[in-house]
Amino acid sequence: MKKIGILVLALFLLTAATSHAEGPKIVIATGGIGGVYYYYGTQISEIMGKNGYPSTIAIQTAASVDNMMLIRDKTDIVKGTFFLATVLPDTAYFTVTGKHEKFAEKPVKANILWMMYPNYLHIITTDKSGIVKLADLQGKKISTGAPGSGTEFTAFNLLKSANIDPAKFKKWEKLGAKESDEALTNGTIDAYFWSGGLPTGSIIELSNTLTRKGMNLYIVPISKRDEGVAAFEKEFAGLTDSLMIPKEAYGTAVDTPTLAFWNMFVCPESLPEDVAYAITKAVFDNADTLRSAVKSAKDTTLESTAKFIGKTAIPFHPGAIRFFKEKGFVK
C-alpha cells in the first residue's frame, strides 16, 4: 500500500509539473469558416503553440458578440482557462459598457492586447439586383449576418440609422459568410452584409462563381451622402473610419467607399500580466509568419497598435502595454 501511495503521489506531482510547464489553457474564439477571423485566430493559435503555449486551441464561432460572451462566461481562473478573441470595436465597446442588451446586467471585463486590421463593411450584391445604394435594400431579400455576430450587430445599427426596418424586407435571412455566398449565387437573397478584412477569401470565390454565371459582383457604396451614415458615425465616434475597398480586391468595376473598423484582439481582464506579455511578444516576434498566412494581417504592426494605446474606451492589458514600452512605442 505504501508503494502504491508513493506511486500515486509521484504521478500527481508529475501531472502538476507538466500542467505548470504548459501554462494556462488558452482558447481563441474566432469566427465562421470563410471569414478572416477564423484564419487569423487559427494562425495565432499555431504561433502560441510553438512559443510556450502548447495547450492553445482556436474554435469556430459566430464571431464578435459570441466571442465576448465566451470571455465573460467561459473564462475560468481557477482551472486556468482563458478565452481570447477576435472582435469588432463597436461590439467590444457595447459589451464592455453594458449597452448591448445581452450584456446589460453583466458587462464583460475585457482588455485589448493589440489591434489586428481594419474591418471593412461589405454590402454584397450583383449587377443584376437593382441595388446600387443603401436605400435600395428596402423591400429586398437581405441577409444581415449570422446571429450573434459582429456583422449582424453593425448591420442592425446602420439600418436603424438609415431608417430601414429589416422586418419589412421581402425576405430576411441571418446567414454567415459561406451561406450568404451560396444564397446570393442561387438567387434566394438579393444582397448580404459582411464585415471582414481585405480581401475576404469567400468573396473572391463568390466573384469568380458569379462571373461563370454571367453576373458581376457589386459592392454597395456607403458614404456620408447616404441617409443615416453620418448619424451612424456620430453614434460610434472614434470607432469608424471612411476607407475604400479597392477594385483590385474582388475585381469590381470601381473602388467602393465604405465604413471601416479596427478589429481588436482581446482578452479577459483577469489574464495574468506575464501571460498577456508573453502572448503579445510571441505574436509580434512572429508577425512575418502571421502576415504570410493571412493577407489582412499586413496591418498587424507595432505602429498600428501603438497609436491607439491610451485613446480607446476599452483599456489595453498591462501585459501588452509592458511589451510596447519595451519596444519604445509607449512612454
Does residue 302 fall inside a structural domain?
A: yes
Q: Are residues 226 and 165 in the same domain?
A: yes
Confidence of residue 90 (pLDDT cuts 50, 70, 90): confident
Q: Which domain holds residue 299?
A: 22-118+264-326
24 pLDDT higher than 90: yes
Per the structure, how many domains does the chain have? 2
Q: Are residues 254 and 270 in the same domain?
A: no
Q: Are residues 243 and 281 in the same domain?
A: no
Ramachandran bin of 317, using left for φ above 0, alpha for ψ from -120 to 50, beta for the remaining angles:
beta
Q: Which three cell numbers stand for residue 325?
A: 514600452
**65-69, 185-189, 258-262, 321-325, range with the lowest pLDDT:** 258-262
Does residue 57 fall inside a structural domain?
A: yes
Which pLDDT value is given to residue 235?
A: 78
Quick: pLDDT tens for 311-326: 888 999 999 999 999 9
Q: What is the CATH number of the domain that holds 246?
A: 3.40.190.10
246 pLDDT higher than 50: yes
Which pLDDT value is given to residue 14?
A: 38
Does residue 1 fall inside a structural domain?
A: no
Which pLDDT value is given to residue 171?
A: 98
Does residue 15 fall inside a structural domain?
A: no
Quick: pLDDT tens for 91-119: 899 999 999 999 999 999 999 999 999 88
3 pLDDT higher than 80: no
Q: Are residues 271 and 197 in the same domain?
A: no
64 pLDDT higher than 80: yes
Q: Are residues 51 and 66 in the same domain?
A: yes
Amino acid at 162: A
Please identify, among 215, 232, 261, the residue that sits at the C-terminal boundary of a domain: 261
Does residue 14 fall inside a structural domain?
A: no
Q: What is the rounded average pLDDT for all residues in the chain? A: 90
At residue 185, the 3 state secondary structure works out as: helix
How many CA atoms are closer than 13 Å to the CA of 254, on its beta-carbon side?
A: 8
CB 268 within 8 A of CB 28: no
Please identify, among 261, 291, 316, the residue that sits at the C-terminal boundary of a domain: 261
Confidence of residue 36 (pLDDT cuts 50, 70, 90): confident
302 pLDDT higher than 70: yes
Please identify, among 236, 261, 286, the residue that sits at the C-terminal boundary of a domain: 261
Check: pTM over 0.75? Answer yes or no: no
Quick: pLDDT tens for 160-215: 999 999 999 999 999 998 999 999 999 999 999 999 888 888 999 999 999 999 99
How many CA atoms are closer than 13 Å to the CA of 109, on its beta-carbon side?
A: 6
Does residue 5 fall inside a structural domain?
A: no
Confidence of residue 120 (pLDDT cuts 50, 70, 90): very high
Does residue 12 fall inside a structural domain?
A: no
Q: Are residues 142 and 256 in the same domain?
A: yes
Q: Are residues 138 and 206 in the same domain?
A: yes
239 pLDDT higher than 80: no
Distances (CA, A) of 162 to 43, 54, 146, 220, 227: 37, 47, 21, 14, 5
Q: Are residues 207 and 270 in the same domain?
A: no
Buried b (16+ CB within 10 A) or exposed e, 241-275: eebebeeebbebeeebbbbbbbbbbbbbeebbeeb
When mean pLDDT is compared over 70-74, 155-159, 231-235, the highest value belongs to 70-74
Q: Are residues 129 and 250 in the same domain?
A: yes
1 pLDDT higher than 60: no
Does residue 331 fall inside a structural domain?
A: no
Residues 208, 213, 219, 220: what is their CA dihedral angle, to the nearest 10 degrees? -170
Q: Are residues 151 and 253 in the same domain?
A: yes
266 pLDDT higher than 80: yes
Quick: pLDDT tens for 226-235: 888 988 888 7
Q: Are residues 185 and 159 in the same domain?
A: yes
Q: Are residues 97 and 177 in the same domain?
A: no
Which pLDDT value is given to residue 33?
A: 86
